[in-house]
A and B are shown apart, each in its own frame.
Chain A
Amino acid sequence: MEREASRPACEICDLSIAQLHRGIRKRQISSVEIAEAYLRRIRSRDPKVQAFISRSAETLLEEARALDQSLASGKRAVGLLTGIPLAVKDNIVTRGMRTTCGSRILEHYVPPYEATSVARLRADGGLILGKTNLDEFAMGSTTENSGFFPTRNPWDLNRVPGGSSGGSAAAVAALEAPGALGSDTGGSIRQPAAFCGVVGLKPTYGRVSRYGLVAFASSLDQIGPLARTARDAAMILQVVSGYDPMDSTSARRPVDDYVAGLEGDIRGLRIGLPAEWFSSGLDPRIEAAVRAAAAKLAAAGCEVVEVDLPHTEFAIATYYIIALAEASSNLARYDGMRYGHRSRRAGSLEETYRNSRNEGFGDEVKRRIMIGTYVLSAGYYDAYYLKASKVRTLIKEDYFRAFERADVLMGPTAPSLPFRRGDKTSDPLEMYLSDVYTVTANLAGIPGLATTCAYTPEGVPIGLQLLGPHFGEGRLLRVAHVLERELGLVRPSLALGA
């Protein structure tokens, strides 16, 4: 293939990570060409989508040039992500590159260290395209709770992209990035992936290092990939996974070959549909699309069975008690003394703490810190936190039993299509309830994957969710890969211009 002088952005930005990787390996395309194409694409589309909080075009191009030189001189081998520019959710710290967490309290924070997941991307030759928007401190399901601006859903700018990794999901969906990192505490990768029509994977707790992920709820948080295809998600997961001495909760277990595993056989695989997930409150269009996808898997040789998750109705209460308790404790560190915003109002030490936090945190973050503080406070601990921690055990055991009958569970990711903007901002509880299908994977520590199974006639994506046992992410990626082939969905075109 001959090297063209200048490829149009639309051509390069249409390629998957797997295709770009092939191009880099065969020297048909350079890192600089890819980076330039995406920077042009972001310039033209992001004013509408608003997926990025920070970008650093100069650094990116410098790094891409240096990378191309070391590739040309044969000094460096081509890794899976070499020359691929990726978007990173802005609660994952990047050394020397502003990391805001979507919060005014960290508006000017420039981290002195690098998250392990980012260091792994870089070591593989991956490049950082920019930092993406999120609900403040990853607390929200719409990316409207960002301390800076809301992100839009690229398929319908009047809808939300989901959250909290809404910036990462929207960037991938709008073809402003070939892939991204997000974080998922109760569905924050999977729900926006479903809303934006991309693939999003929350790995097993402990699979990807949390070092450098700004803590929300430490027993639930996990970093994972968002991408256009299961293969691309597998490539990112392959690079960022693995044991890290800097995270004492990371697993000392070899990383599976997710990419090779995509081609494995799925015949005879038992797909479990949780009965409780197809009850009232689920949009019938989503139910129909998920069941149709199950039928496709059955036709491909899988066995579809029904399973029970009897504690599903208690999932939201259990999750929010635990998540907010952990959040109130984690967010106590923002006191304006060592980094982050310090109030200019003069006062005592106590007043400075309070003013800095009041000025820096948004409403939803304050609400969550308050509830978390309450459920941990003297006299209420047993009734809320201890009780929820016991129900968490029951929810986990539900999954253990379900995985005796099924190899993979399949259901909806969210009960509704992407919300219209402003729909969920007035009633916090209403927003919490929409997390019913995603929070239990975090409570149990199991992996979950969201992918697209249909589009509405208006071109709005409908997502489904796959869940696996601990360290079963390879199996989820394989099923998602087969579904892509069996469903053969044609991606509608975006009305966003070049």
Chain B
Amino acid sequence: MSITPKEVRRIAELAHLEFSPAELERFVGQFQRILDYFEQLRQVDTKGVEPTYHGLAEIPEAGAVRPDRNQPSLAPETVLEGAPKARKGYFRVPRVIE
């Protein structure tokens, strides 16, 4: 599959990233080489093969649910210590609705 600068810009938008025109040009080439390399998977016959999404099948009782009980968690003020901006027990963020 061949990738265009326009498509890279669209992906950047989805990923909340931005590239300068020079970066974009370099990037499109690298992107294309990597995607070309991924193409080799087409050669593999995967008819009837179930996908593996995680390693849980081999792990005793992994992913088992536990009873949903109230448990101690971090105090709000502790969590907010790492916030770039916080006020009165809340994270401060830029205005969302104009």
Give me the interface of A with B, judged by CB distance under 8 Å.
Answer: 109-113, 204-206, 218-220, 245, 248-253, 311, 313-314, 316-318, 320-321, 328, 332, 335-342, 347-355, 357-358, 361, 366-367, 369-371, 373-375, 377, 380, 383-384, 386-394, 396, 428-429, 432, 443-445, 470
Instruction: Specify the chain B residue showing the minimal Cβ separation from A376.
Output: B14
> In the complex, what's the smallest C-beta–C-beta distance from A349 to chain B, in angstroms?
5
| A412→B54 CA distance, assembly (Å) | 26
Contact of A377 among B11, B59, B94 (CB under 8 A): B11
Q: Report yes or no: B54 in contact with A219, Cβ–Cβ below 8 A.
A: yes
Instruction: Specify the chain A residue showing the minimal Cβ separation from B8.
Output: A370
Contact of A367 among B30, B37, B46, B91 (CB under 8 A): B30
Interface residues of B, CB < 8 Å — how many? 54
Q: Report yes or no: B34 in contact with A249, Cβ–Cβ below 8 A.
A: no
Between-chain CB contacts (< 8 Å), 15 pairs? A204-B59, A248-B64, A250-B59, A313-B40, A314-B43, A316-B37, A342-B84, A347-B94, A357-B15, A369-B15, A370-B15, A373-B15, A388-B41, A391-B49, A443-B52
Give me the interface of B with A, judged by CB distance under 8 Å.
Answer: 1, 3, 8, 11-12, 14-19, 27, 30-31, 33-35, 37-38, 40-44, 46, 49-56, 58-64, 66, 74, 78-79, 81-85, 91, 93-96
Contact of A373 among B11, B46, B66, B79 (CB under 8 A): B11
Q: Report yes or no: A219 in contact with B18, Cβ–Cβ below 8 A.
A: no
Q: Report yes or no: B17 in contact with A338, Cβ–Cβ below 8 A.
A: no
Set of chain B residues within 8 Å of A339, measured between Cβ atoms: 82-84
The verdict on A357 contacting B53 (CB below 8 Å), with A342-B84, A370-B31 known, is no
Most buried by A among B8, B58, B66: B58
> In the complex, what's the smallest C-beta–C-beta distance from B69 to chain A, in angstroms?
11
Q: Report yes or no: A205 in contact with B59, Cβ–Cβ below 8 A.
A: yes
Residues of B contacting A: mostly: loop
Q: Report yes or no: B62 in contact with A367, Cβ–Cβ below 8 A.
A: no
